[in-house]
A and B are shown apart, each in its own frame.
Chain A
Amino acid sequence: MTKSCATIIITSIFFISVVLPLAKVRAQVELPFGGLANFPIPCTCSLTVAVWFTPLYLGGPAAVTGPLVYSPYLTIPYAYYLVGVPGVWHLGSYIPGVQACWMYVGVACVPFPTLGVMTKVGTNRPF
């Protein structure tokens, strides 16, 4: 099951990468991503959530690990709506480099650096 999910996600990202150049009219770069969620990290100041993914595919065959931000004020969720649930595969798009997670550390908030903010995300159903 996990292997087939990974195959679908990698194939999807490949096709997205092929089609993406057609959408160059867009003002900001929106890239595809797919990955397996490990755990959510609450962004206590910005009221968003950073989701840690391993592996995380960002439009190519190489996998990385790291967080992307889910923002209830920006991200459009799709079925099965299990964003940030550990063990659930996610597929969607994100804007790289956007600072949308701030965390409180005693006297102030600091920007929690992430790979970007999700603009859309759908998940699988782990049962």
Chain B
Amino acid sequence: MRPTLTLLLMATVPISLSFLPNTSTRASLGMRVNRVFLFRALPYEVRPGENLVLEGSGFSKGSNKIYFNGTESATATSTNGTSMNLTVPGSLVAGEYKISISNILGSSENASIPIYVKVTNNPQPAPLIERVAISGDVVTVMGKNFSPVNTVITTLGNSTVSITSDGTALSFRLNELSQYVQVKKSLKTNKYKFSLWIFVQNEHGISKDPYKLDMVI
């Protein structure tokens, strides 16, 4: 018993006394440091001349060139390396544009992960989740700006079927989520505390912040 205890202590002390790498921006922790990433542009639908927020990693405090469909259209600076504001050029005609960024680290261009923004004179807001309730395995999401057809994106995967809504509420079953069966199988017969994070997506964009639903699964 004593050697086992000693070994455990030897194993645990280094783990608890180790130090983290020094990082200047917390939000970029865990990201590759020598590359620029563009994750999303908010809002998805925007009017020419309005403000757009870009989120990613590796943004420059100096200068970042912003490209709309490959054409350099704006420059912007970031104070934290992970987000920045810019004004959508007034000269852009209505349509969907692929956005990319370049700076001293290179380009965010990635053919398999195109980031889009829709320039329109009649922008509609993205879905907003205000409240979520669960009854049995049915989850009901209440909020604003839902479309007749929506998709939910959650920690348990995406909805495998389209979810209809009256504009303020939508419902789905847990077993309609793509990874629910895989997770449920791993739980066997036990019950665990779990946080289900939910986004709603439709043709006007994706909810900016996920809703956290604490549950037992």
Contacts and interface: CB of A to CB of B under 8 A. Distances in A.
Interface of A: 8, 11-12, 15-16, 19-20, 22-23, 26-28, 30, 32, 38-39, 41, 44-48, 52, 54-55, 62-67, 69, 71, 73-75, 92-93, 95, 98-100, 102-113, 117, 119-120
Given A47-B32, A105-B201, A119-B18, A8 B8 contact: yes
Contact of A26 (B19, B179, B182): B19
13 contacts: A12-B11, A27-B20, A39-B186, A44-B113, A45-B113, A47-B32, A48-B31, A54-B187, A64-B193, A75-B30, A104-B113, A108-B115, A108-B116
The secondary structure that dominates the B interface is mixed
Interface stretch (B21-29, B60-68, B141-149, B162-170): B21-29
Nearest to A8: B8
Contact of A108 (B26, B29, B33, B206): B206
A102 B39 contact: yes
Contact of A66 (B57, B113, B195): B195
A105 B27 CA distance: 21
The secondary structure that dominates the A interface is mixed
Nearest to B186: A38
A97 B155 CA distance: 15
* Interface residue tally on B, bucketed by range: 35 or more
Nearest to A37: B186
Nearest to B96: A107
A83 to B, nearest CB: 14
B193 A62 contact: yes
A27 B201 CA distance: 37
A68 to B, nearest CB: 11
Given A64-B193, A108-B39, 20 more contacts: A19-B12, A19-B13, A39-B186, A41-B179, A45-B37, A45-B39, A46-B39, A54-B192, A66-B194, A66-B195, A71-B30, A98-B29, A100-B30, A102-B39, A104-B112, A105-B158, A105-B201, A107-B116, A109-B40, A110-B199
A55 B15 contact: no
B135 interface: no
A54 B27 contact: no
Contacts of A27: 20
A102 to B, nearest CB: 5
B193 A69 contact: no
B210 A111 contact: yes
Nearest to B185: A38
Contacts of B37: 45-46, 102
A23 B40 contact: no
Contact of A64 (B30, B33, B179, B192): B192
Contact of B30 (A15, A22, A69, A113): A69
A44 B92 CA distance: 30
A19 B16 contact: yes
A100 B48 CA distance: 32
A39 B179 CA distance: 10
